[in-house]
A and B are shown apart, each in its own frame.
Chain A
């Protein structure tokens, strides 16, 4: 069964450093998403992406964040200068025909 994959599973970085989180969505899906979940809190929507551009973004998705689909399979989230409060699980998702979303296993980002 096709699934969304994410790498790495855990990323540790120092404050101020840039990180890139990677995702491979399900191959025939066209809409892609990033969400984050701070420990103990709700899953929060960050951004959606379609046809090589951002479709929607939340207030959380400020200028420190960017997304890209560099090739036909990968979808990335870049955080330019990480802050302590960026520590969270980051989930990638892609959307099926019935608008159901399939999530990856997540990347745990720890900013020290």
Chain B
């Protein structure tokens, strides 16, 4: 799996968009970018993933640069409940099966939403 680099911590005001960057300059062509978060003492939570196109779901948007060497997770209207550690993980996803893919969690970004 490609290595990722994320800032250690970030602050964001409640109601504003939170933009969390991730660098993955060694990403391979068949590797996807996945985002998870862990709210204090809870299990990690899947947020979103993408290959090269921008993606949006009910939780967030994922913007991947054209060269795929970096991405940004966007929480459009952050709330206090979005305070968590956010993990960017790059790995292969083979839709036709195969691979046991245990996740490797780094230190992530501790996002603190300020009231």
Contact = CB atoms under 8 A, between A and B. Distances in A.
Interface of A: 4, 31, 33, 35, 42-48, 50, 55-56, 58, 89, 91, 93, 95-106
B107 A42 contact: yes
A100 B34 CA distance: 8
B102 A33 contact: yes
Given A43-B44, A102-B46, A58 B102 contact: yes
Contact of B95 (A55, A56, A97): A97
B42 A45 contact: no
Given A43-B105, A45-B104, A106 B43 contact: yes
Interface centre among A35, A58, A89, A100 (most CB of B within 10 A): A100
Interface string B30-56: 001010101001111110010000000
Nearest to A48: B100
Query: Interface of chain B, helix or strand or loop or mixed?
Result: loop
B102 A56 contact: yes
Nearest to A3: B43
A93 B43 CA distance: 9
B101 interface: yes
16 contacts: A4-B43, A43-B105, A44-B105, A45-B103, A55-B100, A93-B44, A97-B95, A98-B93, A98-B95, A99-B49, A103-B43, A103-B44, A103-B46, A105-B42, A106-B42, A106-B43
Given A89-B41, A106-B42, A45 B102 contact: yes
Given A42-B107, A97-B95, A48 B102 contact: yes
A70 B97 CA distance: 23
Contacts of A95: 101
A106 to B, nearest CB: 5
Given A48-B102, A55-B100, 11 more contacts: A43-B38, A45-B103, A50-B100, A56-B101, A89-B41, A99-B34, A99-B49, A99-B101, A100-B34, A100-B46, A102-B46
